[in-house]
Structure 1
Amino acid sequence: MPATTIAGFSVHVDAEGFLTVYDEWSPDLAQQLAKRIGIDLTDAHWKAIRFLRADYAARGETATLRRVTVAGGVPTKELFRLFPKKPAKKMAYIAGLPKPRGCV
């Protein structure tokens, strides 16, 4: 797993740029990751990101879009508004988690 530096943070990533070490993530890093893909994080974004991180810690896999909607309580339309075009992939990237299964 290659290491890289993102805005001064040294992290391990996969070939697509997703973090591979859970504990290397921080809220400050999340801000930088979001900025890289054109997203300014709001409280609504953080609700989804916090759910993803907690769910991953409990289940050991990145939640799907449906799970974020059902268990996380964030409506699908809201997720598409917050994380345009590929919300599951963008949420996982910002949350410092592996890409969810089924994402291309």
Structure 2
Amino acid sequence: MSVELPERDGDGYLIDMNQWAPEIGRAMAEADGVELDDVKWEQILKAREYFEEENVVPPIRKFAKYINADQKELFKMWKTGPMKPITKYGGLPKPTGCV
């Protein structure tokens, strides 16, 4: 993929959230060696939807409930604290609290 990535911070998050686009999110994941299947991509879009509605990144517990998913399954799927990659590739702010 030959998408020019905008400037990112030391953790890989966009410096300017307004530079996010679906192609950017996918290119960031690819650059990080993370494969985004349709399920993961849907979760990223749902997190963006939640952020637009609430103006805050949801904690994993709230997010799992929001998308009607099992929290443990999200951890298995992402192999890490799920909110970090979900917010990173969704162009959202870093989650606070336990991730």
Unmatched tracts of structure 1, length 5 or more: 1-6
Count of aligned residue pairs for this structure pair: 98
TM-score scaled to structure 2, two decimals?
0.81
Any runs of at least 4 consecutive aligned residues in structure 1 with deviations exceeding 4 A, and if so which? none
Of 63-72 and 29-38, more deviation after overlay is shown by 29-38
Aligned partner of 1:3 in structure 2 is: none
* SS of equivalent residue, structure 1 residue 10: coil
Whichever structure has more strand as a proportion of its residues is 1
Q: Which runs of 5+ in 2 are unaligned?
A: none
Q: Which has the higher contact order (CA 8 A, sep 6+)?
A: 2
Backbone CA RMSD of aligned residues = 2.1
Moved more, 46-55 or 17-26: 17-26
Please, what TM-score do these two structures have when normalized by structure 1? 0.78
Could you say which residue in structure 2 is the equivalent of 1:16? 11
| Identical pairs, percent | 28
Partner residue in 1 for 2:53: 58
